[in-house]
A and B are shown apart, each in its own frame.
Chain A
Amino acid sequence: MPTVPSDFLDGVRDAAPLHLGIAPFGLVAGVAAVEQGLSIFHAIGFSSVVFAGASQLAMIELLGADAPLAIVVGTAVVVNLRMLMYSASIAPYFRNFAARTKALSSYLLTDQAYALSIARYGRDGDTDRFAYYFGVAVSLWVVWQFATVAGALLGTGLPPAWGLEFAAPLVFLALLVPALKDRASAASGVTGGVVAVAVVVAGIPFHLDIIVAAVVGVVAGLAVSSFGGDV
C-alpha cells in the first residue's frame, strides 16, 4: 500500500519542471491586469476564482478594449472548452471521490494537472489518485497565485516602451506550437489564426474574433480528419 504523503510528494516533484513554465505565465497575467487598468485585487480574483491562464489573459485584454461583457465571458468559455475533454477523460479515475473532493479536484483541473495525472494513472494502478493529483494541482495553484501577485505588483512600475503586453501572445504561442501535433490540428490552427486576423482586419465589431475563429478552425480540423485520411 502506498502511503498518502509519498504519492502527494511524487505529484509535487513531477510538477516541478512545469512550475518553471507557469511562473512567467502567471507573472504576465498579473502585469497584463494592471496594464489594462484593473486593480491588483482583480488580478488576484482572476487567478483564484477563474484559475485558467489563457482565458484570464484573453478576458483582461478584452476588458482593456471595452469589449461587450457577453463577448468577454463567451470568449473565456470558448478558450476553456478544452477542459471539457479533460473532465471526461479523468472522470473515471475520480469516480469514488466524495462530492466535496470532486469539487476541489474540478476547481484545480488544468492542462498540466490533467496531463501528468492521466500519465501516472496509466502507469501505476496503485497510485493514491487524489494524493498524486492534489500534489500536482495544488503546487501549480500556489505557484500561479504567487506569480500573479508578483506580476501585478511589478506591472505598475514598468515603462510602456518595453511593450510588456507582447508577452501575452508569446505565452499563447508557447501553448499553440505543441497543440499542432498532427495535420488536422495544424489545419485547425492555421484556419483559426487566419480567420481571427480576417475578423480583426475587417473591423468586425464586438471583438468576435476568437469565438468565430474557434468555430471555423474546429470545422476545418474535422474536415481534414474526415477527408484527409490521417486518422
Chain B
Amino acid sequence: MTTSYDPVTVWGVIVLAGALTFAIRGSFVYLFGRIDTVPPRIKSALEYVPAAVFAALVFPALVAPTGDLSLSLGNDRLVAGVLAALAAWYTERVFVTIAVGMGALWVLRFVV
C-alpha cells in the first residue's frame, strides 16, 4: 500500500501537523501566568488519552490486520503480538518488544 497523495500535499500535512503539535507543546508554557492550572476535569480526561490512543493503534493491527476480524492461531500477527505484549509487560523496553514481536512473526512465517 503506497500513498496516492502528491509530494507537495504530504509537505502540507507535515507543516500543519508540526504547527499544531508545536501549539500543543507550547500551550501552557506560554500561557503560564495567565492560566496557571488545567481545570481538574480536563486534566483527568487527558490522563486517559495515552492508554486509549495507543490501544487504538495496536488492537486493529493485531486482531484485524486485513480489515476483517481474525481471532485464530492462524493469524500470525495476533500470536506474535501477544508474545510481544508479554515482553513489553516484563521488560518495559521498546527494543525487546520489537525484537520479540518481529522474531515471532518471522518464525511463524518462515519456520513453522
Chain A interfacial positions (CB closer than 8 Å to B): 20-25, 28, 35-39, 42, 45-46, 49-52, 54-55, 57-59, 63-66, 69, 72-73, 76-88, 90-92, 94-95, 102-103, 105-107, 109, 161-164, 166-180, 184-186, 188-197, 200-201, 203, 209-210, 213-214, 216-218, 220-222, 225
Q: Which residue of B lies closest to A89 (CB)?
A: B28
The minimal Cβ–Cβ distance linking A128 to chain B, given in whole angstroms, is 18
Q: How far is the CA of A213 from the CA of B24 in the complex (A)?
A: 20
| B29/A105 in contact, CB under 8 A | yes
Instruction: Provide the residues of chain B in CB contact with A200, threshold 8 Å.
Output: 60, 64, 67
Given contacts A166-B105, A169-B62, contact A177 B98 (CB under 8 A): no
A20 contacts across to B, CB distance below 8 A: 93, 95
Say yes or no: A210-B56 contact (C-beta < 8 A), given A55-B17, A85-B38, A85-B47.
yes
Q: Provided the pairs A192-B53, A196-B55 are in contact, do residues A173 and B13 lie with their beta carbons within 8 angstroms?
A: no
Q: Per-position contact with A for B38-57: 1 when CB-CB < 8 Å, else 0? A: 10000111111111111111
A172 and B44 in contact (CB under 8 A), knowing A39-B7, A45-B14, A87-B27? no
Q: Which residues of A contact B88 (CB under 8 A)?
A: 173-174, 176-178
> Which residues of A lie under 8 Å from residue B44 when comparing CB positions?
222, 225
User: Are A169 and B92 in contact, CB atoms less than 8 angstroms apart?
Assistant: no
The CA of A1 and the CA of B46, in the complex, are separated in Å by 37
Tell whether, in the assembled complex, residue B105 and residue A163 are in contact, meaning their CB atoms are under 8 Å apart.
yes
What CA separation (Å) do A50 and B66 show in the bound complex?
A: 29
